[in-house]
Amino acid sequence: SHANSSEEQARGRAKGLGHTGRPADPGRKGETLRLPAMAGKMDMSKYSGKVLFDENSRVFRLYGKEMMYSFRADEGGNLEHLYWGAAVPPTDDLRYLSFSNVQLCFDPGPSLVFEDMTAIEDLVQEDVEPEDLLKEWDQARKQNLGHNDVVESLGDGVEALNMFPIDEEAMAAARRENAAWRLMKMQEMKMKRLEDGQEPGVTDEELAELAELAVKGNGGIQGVGTGAMGSHGMGGMTRVQSVGEFGGDRGGVHPTLMKAANFAEGFVGTIDVNEDEGFMPRSRTISMASVPVGLPTEDDWADALPRVGRNTKLLEWADLGTGDYRPPSFSVSYEDGGQISPLTYKTHTIVSGKLPMSFAKGKLPELRGGVPGEGASNTLVVTMEDKLTGLEFDLIYSVFRDHNALTRRVIVKNPKDKKVEIPKYQSKANLTTRLNRLMSCTVDFHTMGGSNLITLSGSWANERHMKTQQLVQGKFVTESLRGTSSHQHNPFCALATSREDMLETSGDVWALSLVYSGNFMMEAEVAETGRTRINMGINPHTFKWHLPPGDAFESPECVLVWSGNGLEQMSHTYHDLYRQFLIPERWFATVPPVLLNTWEAMYFDVSHAKVLELARVAANVGVEMIVLDDGWFGEREDATSSLGDWYEDRKKFPDGLPGIVKEINAMGLKFGIWVEPEMVNVKSQLYKKHPAWCLNQHGRNFRCEGRNQLVLDFSRLEVQDFVIEKLDTMLSGANIEYLKWDMNRHLTEVYGNAMSPDKQGEVFHRYMVGVYKVLAFLNEKFPQVRIETARGGGGRFDAGMLHYGPQIWASDNTDVFSRMAIQHGTSLAYPVCSMGSHITSVPNHQTQRLSTLKTRFLVALFGTFGLELDVRRMKSDELTELQSYIQRFKELAPTIMVGKFHRLWTPQRSHDRFAYAWMVTHVDTTKTIAAVVAVFLTKTEPGRYLPRLQLRGLVDTEVYIVEEIFPNTSRRNNNTGQIEVGMGPPQWQLGRKKIEMTGGALMYAGLPVRLTYDGDSCAFVLYRASLVMNSASGTPKTGRSPLYSSREPPSHHPHGLLHSHI
């Protein structure tokens, strides 16, 4: 907050500070801070995590690690977006960016307030009731009443009037009150004449008397100023008069009208300034209309800021129908049928830490904000209001100190005591305020050259492929209407400035990720100006929410990330945020157990004996957990029955789940289980008992079945309670430490039979809230259970689900060629540790393609890692090879689970369009393993060399030991041209097993890579040479070591290194 006492101001002047505590510039009387010139990039770290507000410019600034997000409250009450990008000093007056706003022909101008005559004219109809007149006058009186305290504090006289000249809005409000008061007096005269037996008409003399009363006496206004105003003859105003009465004992107060009533003049600051730390936020609720503060002097350039309409501005939040023709942030229908809802700034609050959800607390997922009091995040709440209806929108921004990120969400509140009056000719039945559309955020971008929009799209078994399209004039929409975030689209997008082949490491990127798992919409529209608006939130096509008086609705949270160095830095930010603040805290930096899932090994043909047989072999190769998949419950022999009957099939498991779990645990293995709680089969006990629990409209004998199943209506409390009770019983009855929550169909015929007809637009969202409720219960009751969610594979891979479980099944397609693209695209927004990935058998069950066990291992390595193999049928040499891979995963997992992921080669670049190269660097420099690298060839181009692989994320001057793991033993016979698989000695990519190189050489010169056939692969582990222990002396190695002998014998296991980092 600004220095608000004379003592504080005196201290500020003594230190060379101006009135607001900023360093004074003699030429501008302390209004501007001129920073000394600095070489290179300016250090903005002291502002990281802070929320600042400048009272003079009315500019808000939210600072991340190296980022700033800024907007201002303009003269019309709009929130004008100014800038989002690399941090700049808070002393730069960013209002100059408003000069980009050039009004085009036929663009609506700024909003004006005019005198509403319609309601006043209604009052003079013959059938008007005195009560209606009083209501009309009272409504107008209340509109002015808010100005009273301000006027009283200013005193009276011409001095106050000169400081704050009358504005149009306040003038119109006073006209309305004055006119209503006059007409009320007219009605009183009519009634008195009728009582006296006279004609009801009012004479000209009486009208003149009324006008004089309105200005001088009974109307409560004293005129000293500029004469008549408008058709009702209001004089100039100076101060509040509490005198005057009409209608017997009813008193009326006409507030003094002055510039303080205008939104543009009523700002107070929330910025502390001191020598050491500059601007500091204070947690305080401020009303911009409560204390008037003057604008800059007339000679300031800010007076020339363009006064343009909403369609010409970049906005933070956009309504519908008031001159902005771009997609709105929200849409509302009021009791009177109106859909116009112009919002203006009302107040703002700065809160220490991340403000948790209030109305959606416990109902929707959200990011945490770090340890309270440590300054990891801070929050700004800006309240906007529809002044006529009182509907309020709280725009909530939370910024993170250590990340270039902020979150946004919105709360809509319908007050109890302020409603739109419904005209008499309209029925009041079934009329209520209704939200038709509510985005979680709107972000406007000024015109940019060659901007690319990046999304994640695909299909079942082919999810989240990275798609890039250049934005042109028009609208691009990606959305889901399937009840979940879907296989087809993902609630993520990024806007980038670099050309497609340079996206990874160069250029600005602005990204949005929605923390929601239901129907969503992202729309990007480029206007004729070249400006772009991006909206993201709940899909309005399946959303209608009723807001009775006193109720509120809170939107899902959206995570906004900026990067100045391409997609890679953006991904690092998302990965760090989601690992640290979204995934349940107890799973942070943990390594998941190596599991074997029974699905592809047995499908529905599971039994106590078969699972134990599989587990015995699995335990010998290093597996740590057995997961019992589909087929264990009810009478489940195939996909046609028993969903919903969550009790053991005693024919298959005679000792029940406790019996099989006990025996699995006795082998030293953990136990997990698969469920599909959202579904029900018609052939089930649950459906026979509760057919009405399905999503389907009663009376319509029409419905779709998907995978032979129906969807339970999770918007019903009794359904939620049923599922909670069944899962509680199951998890409490046995030592189950892993739960796979699946969902294997889309939603259709969505109708909530337990909900009233006018609330059917709420069912989709209430369904998702119901699912979240059950998942939240499981997390609270069974914290030891690791939850992996799935949706027919990767059909609900989103930030919302990560709030309840640390991992999500990435896809039902486990073919390595398909998985490379799926996991590559998924990594744009979601951390490697969250991607469920397994080694499966070949030919692959989804594609029938062949691949080596090594390549399947390396692809699964960059994920949670698990098996979906029938190890009972594997040969002994295959089991030995598999055992070495599992051992290596356990060694490398601590690096992969928490490291920074680099997409070194990507198909978006033409020179490596048929190859992927992934790298994870460990952020902890005290660990021996510095990085893990894998390279995959998807399509061979005979005779063409691969480029050298330039690594990233290393220290130029540090020395690394580069070790190739699991080298190829295949080579091409130059005499015959045949590729001879496994016929020769190790084919070291670097000529030998290990070399030592500086980070500079590895990043700039790169590594030679020689791959031969489709699906070929290689991998390297980088060790910090300074930390590798000398096995003989037990002391760290120093200096450079000679290159290792090329005659080192082939091996799948490392030699000569002590793995003390495990």
Among 573, 556, 552, 551, CA closest to 564: 573
Of 317, 473, 510, the C-alpha closest to 410 is 317
Residue 726 to residue 27: CA distance in whole angstroms: 75
DSSP letter (8 states) at residue 1004: I
Two structure tokens written together for 77: 């009450």
Could you say which of 54, 386, 576, 812 is catalytic?
812
- The separation between CA 386 and the C-alpha centre of its own chain, rounded to angstroms, equals 25
Count Cβ atoms below 10 Å from residue 909 Cβ, excluding itself: 15
- Residues 920 and 858: beta-carbon distance below 8 Å: no
What per-residue string of b and e applies to 329-358 under the rule 16 or more CB within 10 Å gives b? bbbbbbbeeeeebbbbbbbbbbbbbbbebe
Q: Which two tokens stand for residue 662?
A: 């006990």
Distance CA 1032, CA 1029 (A): 9
DSSP-derived secondary structure for 343-391: -EEEEEEEEESPPPPSTTTTTS------STTS-SEEEEEEEEE-TTT--
Nearest alpha carbon to residue 774 among 795, 792, 789 = 789
Q: What's the CA gap between 633 and 851, in Å, rounded?
A: 34
Q: Count CB-CB contacts under 10 A for residue 591.
A: 17
Closest CA to 453 of 358, 532, 337, 516: 532
**Is the Cβ–Cβ distance between 453 and 494 less than 8 Å?**
yes
How far is residue 325's CA from residue 322's CA, in Å, rounded to a whole number? Answer: 8
- Tell me whether residue 277 is exposed, middle or buried, using C-beta atoms within 10 angstroms of its C-beta: 0 to 12, 13 to 18, 19 or more: exposed
User: 74 an active-site residue?
Assistant: no
Q: Which amino acid is at 1015?
A: G
Three-class secondary structure of residue 827 per DSSP: coil
Fill in the amino acid letter for 37: A
Give the residue among 898, 1007, 1031, 996 at the shortest CA–CA distance from 952: 1007
Q: Are 257 and 171 in contact (CB under 8 A)?
A: yes
Tokens of 259: 């510039």
DSSP assigned state of 892 = H
CB atoms within 10 A of CB 192: 11
**Residues 157, 163, 168, CA angle at the centre, nearest 5°?**
100
Q: 915-921 and 929-937: which strand pairing?
A: antiparallel
First-to-last C-alpha distance (Å) of the chain: 50
Residue 784 phi/psi, 5° resolution?
-80, -10
Catalytic residue (choose from 92, 742, 815, 912): 742
Between CA 559 and CA 583, with CA 401 as vertex, the angle to 5 degrees is: 50
CB 270 within 8 A of CB 1: yes
Q: Is 645 among the catalytic positions?
A: no
Structure tokens at 230: 């408008």
Alpha helices (H) in 497-607, listed in sequence order: 566-581, 599-602
What gap in Å lies between CA 798 and CA 791, rounded to an integer?
Answer: 11
Contact 391, 359 (CB under 8 A): no
Length of the chain, please? 1062
Return d(Cα 152, Cα 134) in angstroms, integer. 26
Question: For the chain, how are helix, strand and coil distributed in percent, rounded to 5?
Answer: 25, 25, 50
List, in order, residues 6 or more apart from 172 with CB less than 8 Å away.
113, 114, 115, 116
Catalytically annotated residues: 742, 812
